[in-house]
Structure 1
Amino acid sequence: MTATTPTAPPNTAPPDPMRRTSRAAGILYLVTFVSVPTLMVFEPVRDGAEFVLGTGSATAVLWGSFSELVVALAGIGTAVVLFPVTKRVSETAGLGFVTARVVEGSLIIVGVVSIHTLVSLRDDVARTADADQGSLVTTAHTLVATYDWTFLLSQSLMPVFNALCLGYVLYRSGLVPRILPTLGLVGAPLLLASDIAIFGVIDRVSPFAAVAFIPIAVWEFSLGVYLTVKGFRPSAVAALPPAVGAAAVPAPAIR
């Protein structure tokens, strides 16, 4: 009879759901930056009526609008993924963050629809023999104005509410270094002042508007990097109140 030596079970720690949550949120935050090049891609659309009449290529514009669609979905994803965590700190702020992200994503999609409608006019109407160029140019300006205002409301105004809601939760809980939410909480009123000034005081592409957006951009990018690489602070996670309805985990028996 051959004796067998029992083998110890592999020492593998169970996966940490909070680490998965933070990594997913961080990656989604970084994905929201893929549309930054569209500021240059859409310049031919904004600069004149030639685009709707067939000048230039629509391929880059379509790729830019696709990247904005990705940003809309990724932005909503950040709030949905983080909600189980944020509601344990403040359900009001957590719901506010989800709502702001949904409004932001919806407005971005409206802007994408405006761009695609403009491309459809260019491809399907402008090239017909009886096309009225004056009407096409007027419609093109209307669609561009729609995109510009949805961009202002979605990607400039809504980040103010995102930063206030999520920044409050993260600062209060200490889940990440407090310098990160501080950037958001300081940048939010600065960006709000810039957005209000755009309504008849300054141009939306003025230097002041660009500078006012920097703290929010740094806050969101830094948060994405930190959550992806480091995750939530374990001590802060341990201090969170238990999730509603979560079953108590019995302590392991000591043998």
Structure 2
Amino acid sequence: MLFLITEIAAITGMTLYQPALSDVSYIGGAGADTRVLLGALSELIVVMAVIGTAVTLYPVIKRQNEGIALAHVCGRLLEAAVITVGMVSVLSIVTLRQDGAGPSNDDGSLAAVGQSLVAIHEWAFLLGPNVILGMNSLLLAYLVYRSQMVPRTIAVLGLIGGPLVTTSAVAVMFGLYSPVDHAIAAVPVFAWEVSLAVHLIIKGFRSSPLATRNTGSGAAPATLSHA
């Protein structure tokens, strides 16, 4: 459910943010502060849900490889931190608009500051929910693929989608193609998170046969069964 919350809240946040992100005169105009603040609240929900996915999954995936599982937790925390930077930059636009609106202020300077804060948000969005997200997806998909705790067809989406969205975001950083093309490249990782979430809600993890090792007694690995 936390995975689905991240998807829904992220889309909601980006939609609500649009007045502050797309209007260059927003910081010196009438503004739509309530809408933008609701967008920030949605982003805060994203941050909490991202951390929640890491904490909830760690006790399960560490049985496969504790080091990689810990790296996934750290990656999720970093992703949440970068998203928070972007959220704070948008909230700063609202604060400057409220405090700086008035005839005595230089609208040109105010607009330049607003554009700088928008640029910070755009970079945070590219790095957090794209570059870092892709690496986190790869780590998690690798662990569930190895352990067979979910159908491997679902894990393959993460193995493909994670590196693809990271590579695509890096390409956008260097201006190799447009953000629109990047949005298409993000579809597999979106499908990975949604399909994993739906599968876990309906069926849950399967017991991993790798949790039972042959210790010399000749016992065979345990048969997969739904937990």
Q: TM-score, normalised by structure 2?
A: 0.88
Return the alpha-carbon distance in structure 1 between the equivalents of residues 96 and 63 of structure 2.
49
1:182 shift after superposition: 0.4
> What RMSD in Å do the two structures reach over aligned CA positions?
1.6
Higher relative contact order (CA 8 A, sep 6+): 1
Following TM superposition, the consecutive aligned residue runs of length 4 or more in structure 1 with deviations greater than 4 angstroms are none
1:43 shift after superposition: 2.4
Paired position in structure 2 for 1:188: 162
Q: Tell me which moved more, 209-218 or 30-39.
A: 30-39
Return the alpha-carbon distance in structure 1 between the equivalents of residues 115 and 178 of structure 2.
17
Q: 1:223 aligns with which of 196, 208, 214?
A: 196
Return the alpha-carbon distance in structure 1 between the equivalents of residues 200 and 88 of structure 2.
32
Paired position in structure 1 for 2:123: 149
Per residue, is there more helix in 1 or in 2? 2
Work out whether 1:119 is the aligned partner of 2:94. Answer: yes
SS of equivalent residue, structure 1 residue 175? coil
Q: TM-score, normalised by structure 1?
A: 0.78
1:135-174 paired onto structure 2 within 5 Å: 135-174=109-148
Change (3 A) 1:204 1:156: farther
1:203 shift after superposition: 5.3
Return the alpha-carbon distance in structure 2 between the equivalents of residues 111 and 192 of structure 1.
18
1:222-241 paired onto structure 2 within 5 Å: 222-234=195-207, 236=208, 239-241=210-212
Q: Which amino acid aligns with 2:145?
A: Y
1:50 shift after superposition: 1.8
- State how many pairs are aligned: 212
1:48 shift after superposition: 2.9
Return the alpha-carbon distance in structure 1 between the equivalents of residues 149 and 73 of structure 2.
18
Gaps of 5+ in 1: 1-26, 243-255
- Among all aligned residue pairs of Structure 1 and Structure 2, give the percentage whose two residues are the same amino acid: 39
Paired position in structure 2 for 1:85: 60
Paired position in structure 1 for 2:39: 64
Return the alpha-carbon distance in structure 2 between the equivalents of residues 93 and 65 of structure 1.
31
Paired position in structure 2 for 1:7: none
Which protein has the larger Cα radius of gyration, Structure 1 or Structure 2? 1
